[in-house]
Amino acid sequence: MTIKEKLINRYLKPRFSFVWLQMAVISALTAGMAIGLFFLVNDVVIPRIRATSTPWVQTDWSGGDSSTLVSETVNTWTSLDGVEATASAGLIVLDQTDGWSSDYHNWAYRRKITFDNTDATLGVTSENLTDFPVLVKLDTGTNIDYTKTQDLGQDLRFTDSDGTVLAYEIEKWDETGSSYVWVKVPQIDQNSNTDYVYIYYGNTGASDGQTESSVWNSGYKMVQHFNESSGVHYDSTANNFDSNSVTVTEQGADIGQIDGADHFNGAGDNITITAISPASQVTVTTWFKRLGVAGSGYHTIYMQGTQIELDAIESTGQIRAGVTTATMGRQVFNSGSGLGDGQFHQLGLVYNGETLKAYIDGVQTSSQSVSGALSTGSATTIGKLAPSYYVNGVLDEIRVSDIGRSAAWIAASYKSETNAFNTIADEVSQYPDSGILISNILDAGFAADWGELSYTASGSGVTIKVRTDSSPDMSGATDWGSCSGIASGTDLTETDCVTDQDQYLQYQATLTVQGALSPELYDISVPFTASDQLRPSVNAANVAITGLTSGNWTSTEPTITWTAGTDDTAVAGYCISLDEQTVDATPSASLNPETDAGEMNGLDDGITNNSTCPYIVAGTSVDLSSISGLTLPTNKQYWFSIKAVDAAGNVANDIAGPWQDLVSFKYDSTVPTNVAYLTMPSTNFSFRIGSFGLAISA
């Protein structure tokens, strides 16, 4: 049997492990070859040696995935699904949905709302819509799950695509049907069908976030939704143009285009409001549904003295629009058709200082050149023009602006209020229901007994499972599905998937969402000890210096050899020390190589995970001249001590004699100075034949 075969046979006994050297160590050594789970370098087995008791701790998972065996603290893992581990050191959490607003980390769900502001959809040339109030209709069972919202929608929030928080107003909240919410969108791009916002919900602890008046930009003078069922109709803008009186057959109870609406009986029902009086431009829009014949032939919808007038004509089904200006007086025209069909129609009057326009259902029906400032009007009346012009029908959502809205704005408003402008996507959770991270496989370095598992986590949504095996690929380990979760502080030997004397261990962390929040895992610690607690029974022997008698002088750093020690499993290496002393002095330090390597302290011995001795040699010899970084001062005597160590880190502990100061050598690397010249003083010189004296100077 060759020396190599003997070494392989010797070091591959049960419960003894080896590990690959790191590539940096391999490159520094010469002519190495990998065999199995260890390295042979110049026919010497290089093992891994550990202390007999150590915890495996992980507090960082930011290094990404790695499939290699590990034997020390790492920041990697083998696999994960639904877990975010690389964003920051110090914790793992469930994988958050991309782009989730940092303002709403306590919200569980969101949906994407996309707008179609294309020319094709609007039917006119589109434009950038700035600070546009979009109506979001939430239908139970279709685009909202009311079991995930608060009872009154207090947890609703909206953000722009960049995370900007948006103002919104809930006009109606109905968990059995449809809810209506107005949202102010900063900009919807021209001819775009990709602009979007998000609706967030699912936070039981959130307070109401509405800012009603902020939804309506400064161009709006009054917005009344007619959703109040009694008393005052309130203006949603900050201008407080609330109703002064409400006299209607049904207030807010009738089914409107958007929500509640007011039923006017055609015989005197009306609403009065303080004069709004736009100065130079005006836009009035509303939803109207004819129910019966107007006594005078006109359904007067909006009237501000003679300044602004919006009617529906009974006989023709047309819209009637009129303004009175300081320069042109009263200007009125009729246009369009179809208002007598008993369906809701959006009516619009727009005066921009140059042109008066009329709109039905977002489409301009006619226009007329008009100029001049608007005349000052008296109180505003809805549903009546004395003495006999009364609405016989239903009105909903009346708005007045002091600017002339564009055709694109009117068309987009109509599409939004008919639920044809927005598309609400499927619900997305902030976190998946659960996620799993599986650790690297820990190689303890020896047959191990496993201790008390410890980990730190937030909440109750973290489940840790641990399993062990005698094989480095865990091929014999129990399936994760058959392993039970383990509480922190549990002795692993009492669990169902961990076996003492197995060498390899792996853990699985499962995170389960807790309401809207992800649990967090901060650290995990698995302590273990070597199953082998026995020290080597026989230390190294027959220590000798190659080519030199112990105690003699040498000008080169020598090679020291010994015969192998004995262990119940196998001797993995030898702790050595080299003690510097004055020549021929009795050794005073008497170094213990288990704790002090003398001249070799701090040098790299090439033994991975060596936490046992300062310097370890794997074979049965050491060439001091080949140790990188070792420099011996000259004219000193060096004493050599040695202790056998096994793979578990157990060190031989015989009495002092068999391991301490076993051999020594005196080291002198200084080259002598040669003779330079001769001198011959006359006092020492004789001419006698056969003898003379010389004085020699160096």
Among all chains, which residue has been given the structure tokens 């069922």?
229
Q: Which whole-number Å values give the CA distances from 583 to 624, 634, 637, 668, 675, in the listed order?
A: 19, 10, 5, 10, 27
**In 3D, which of 280, 477, 293, 272 has the Cα closest to residue 378?**
272
More confident residue, 84 or 88: 84
Q: Model confidence at 47, in pLDDT bands (50, 70, 90)? A: low
Residue 176 and residue 74 share a domain: no
pLDDT in tens, 651-669: 998 754 589 889 999 999 9
Question: Quick check: 426 pLDDT over 60?
Answer: yes
What does the DSSP 8-state code read for residue 514? B
pLDDT of residue 29: 31
Question: Quick check: 509 pLDDT over 50?
Answer: yes
Q: Which whole-number Å values give the CA distances from 259 to 224, 290, 549, in the listed order?
A: 12, 17, 108
pLDDT of residue 643: 94
Residue 119 and residue 234 share a domain: no
Residue 199 and residue 128 share a domain: yes
602 CA to centre of own chain: 41
Structural domain ending residue among the three candidates 508, 530, 552: 530
pLDDT of residue 465: 99
The CB density around residue 151, as the number of other CB atoms within 10 Å, is 9
Its domain, for residue 449, covers 53-95+434-530
pLDDT in tens, 526-563: 999 888 778 898 999 999 999 999 999 999 999 999 99
Residue 393 and residue 249 share a domain: yes
User: What integer is the mean pLDDT of 337-354?
Assistant: 96
37 CA to centre of own chain: 37
pLDDT of residue 46: 46
Question: Quick check: 5 pLDDT over 80?
Answer: no
Q: Model confidence at 591, in pLDDT bands (50, 70, 90)? A: confident
Structural domain ending residue among the three candidates 530, 565, 597: 530
What does the alpha-carbon distance between residue 604 and residue 610 come to, in Å, rounded to a whole number? 10
pLDDT of residue 569: 79
pLDDT in tens, 13-43: 333 232 222 322 223 333 333 323 333 333 4
pLDDT of residue 53: 57
Residue 263 and residue 128 share a domain: no
pTM of this structure? 0.71
pLDDT of residue 153: 98
Question: Quick check: 227 pLDDT over 90?
Answer: yes
Q: What's the CATH code of the domain at 375?
A: 2.60.120.200
Residue 61 and residue 23 share a domain: no
Residue 359 half-sphere exposure, CB side, CA atoms within 13 Å?
Answer: 27
**In 3D, which of 577, 544, 560, 543 has the Cα closest to residue 626?**
560
pLDDT in tens, 393-412: 999 999 999 999 999 999 99
Question: Quick check: 11 pLDDT over 70?
Answer: no
Question: Quick check: 160 pLDDT over 60?
Answer: yes
Mean predicted lDDT score pLDDT of the chain: 88
pLDDT of residue 683: 57
pLDDT in tens, 624-635: 999 999 999 999
What does the alpha-carbon distance between residue 332 and residue 324 come to, in Å, rounded to a whole number? 9
pLDDT in tens, 185-197: 999 999 999 999 9
Report the range of poorest mean pLDDT among 164-178, 332-346, 527-541: 527-541
Structural domain ending residue among the three candidates 530, 556, 588: 530
Partnered with residue 645 across adjacent β-strands are 573, 651
For the record, the structure tokens of 694 come out as 């010389």
Strand, coil or helix: what is 50? coil
User: What integer is the mean pLDDT of 587-592?
Assistant: 77
Residue 449 and residue 317 share a domain: no
What does the alpha-carbon distance between residue 366 and residue 359 come to, in Å, rounded to a whole number? 7
Report the range of poorest mean pLDDT among 173-177, 447-451, 470-474, 644-648: 644-648
pLDDT of residue 695: 52
Contact 113, 199 (CB under 8 A): yes
In a domain, 597, yes or no: no
What does the alpha-carbon distance between residue 457 and residue 153 come to, in Å, rounded to a whole number? 32
Residue 387 and residue 263 share a domain: yes
The total of structural domains in the chain comes to 4
Question: Quick check: 222 pLDDT over 90?
Answer: yes
Report the range of poorest mean pLDDT among 249-258, 316-325, 349-358, 585-594: 585-594
**In 3D, which of 215, 128, 141 has the Cα closest to residue 171?**
215
Task: State the SS3 of 682-698.
Answer: HHHCCCCCCCCCCECCC
Helices H, strands E: what count in the chain? 5, 48
In a domain, 577, yes or no: no
Contact 526, 488 (CB under 8 A): no
Residue 117 and residue 69 share a domain: no
Question: Quick check: 135 pLDDT over 50?
Answer: yes
Residue 246 and residue 191 share a domain: no
Contact 696, 679 (CB under 8 A): yes
pLDDT of residue 295: 72
Residue 41 and residue 58 share a domain: no
In a domain, 71, yes or no: yes
Residue 350 and residue 460 share a domain: no
Contact 480, 510 (CB under 8 A): no
Q: Model confidence at 608, in pLDDT bands (50, 70, 90)? A: low
Question: Quick check: 579 pLDDT over 70?
Answer: yes
In a domain, 224, yes or no: yes
In a domain, 495, yes or no: yes
pLDDT of residue 287: 98
In a domain, 639, yes or no: no
690 CA to centre of own chain: 102
Q: What percentage of the chain reaches a pLDDT higher than 90?
A: 74
In a domain, 360, yes or no: yes
In a domain, 484, yes or no: yes
